[in-house]
């Protein structure tokens, strides 16, 4: 989850899949900005951004739970997104990573990198990637 409109893209698909399989859902957001890293290293109080991210995850998770899904949320601070996602997947015993992709173009991915691309090279867990219509 990246706390943007792209989350709606993957949630539509995951709701259907989880309903069919009775899967447990773990919502993950990795706060990887400078403030999140500094807070994590210095054990500082949460910033407004971190509080907002946690509130967002909690709200989405509550909506899923209200609809009968077994779901919980994990906010990871101070790690690279790929490292955070993989750590949670391992800790939770995940058997599928599902994510919406932003649909960057080749040059943009070369310059900025792509969490989805890096993830697929670093894990043996199957990954469901749905391209978001939002950019």
Per-residue pLDDT of 56-111, as tens digits, reads 999 999 999 999 999 999 999 878 899 999 999 999 999 999 998 876 555 555 44
pLDDT score of 79: 84
Count the alpha carbons within 13 Å of 126 in the hemisphere toward its beta carbon: 3
pLDDT score of 111: 43
Pairwise CA distance, residues 37 & 30, whole Å: 11
Between 23 and 100, whose confidence is greater? 23
Average pLDDT, the chain: 84
Does the 6-131 domain belong in CATH 3.40.50.620? Answer: yes
Domain boundaries, the chain: 6-131
3-state SS, one letter per residue, for 28-93: EEEECCHHHHHHHHHCCCCCHHHHHHHHHHHHHHHHHHHCCCEEEEEEEECCCHHHHHHHHHHHHC
pTM of the full structure: 0.83
């Amino acid at each position: 989850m990246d706390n943007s409109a792209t989350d709606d893209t993957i949630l539509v698909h995951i709701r259907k899949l989880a309903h069919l399989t009775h899967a447990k859902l773990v919502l993950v957001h990795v706060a990887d900005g400078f403030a999140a890293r500094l807070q994590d290293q210095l054990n500082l109080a949460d910033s407004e951004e971190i509080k907002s991210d946690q509130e967002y995850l909690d709200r989405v998770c509550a909506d899923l739970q209200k609809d009968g899904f077994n779901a919980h949320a994990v906010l990871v601070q101070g790690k690279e997104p790929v490292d955070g996602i993989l750590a949670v997947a391992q800790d939770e015993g995940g058997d599928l990573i599902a994510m919406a992709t932003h649909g960057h173009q080749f040059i943009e991915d070369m310059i900025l990198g792509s969490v989805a691309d890096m993830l697929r090279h670093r894990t043996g867990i199957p990954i469901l990637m749905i391209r978001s219509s939002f950019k």
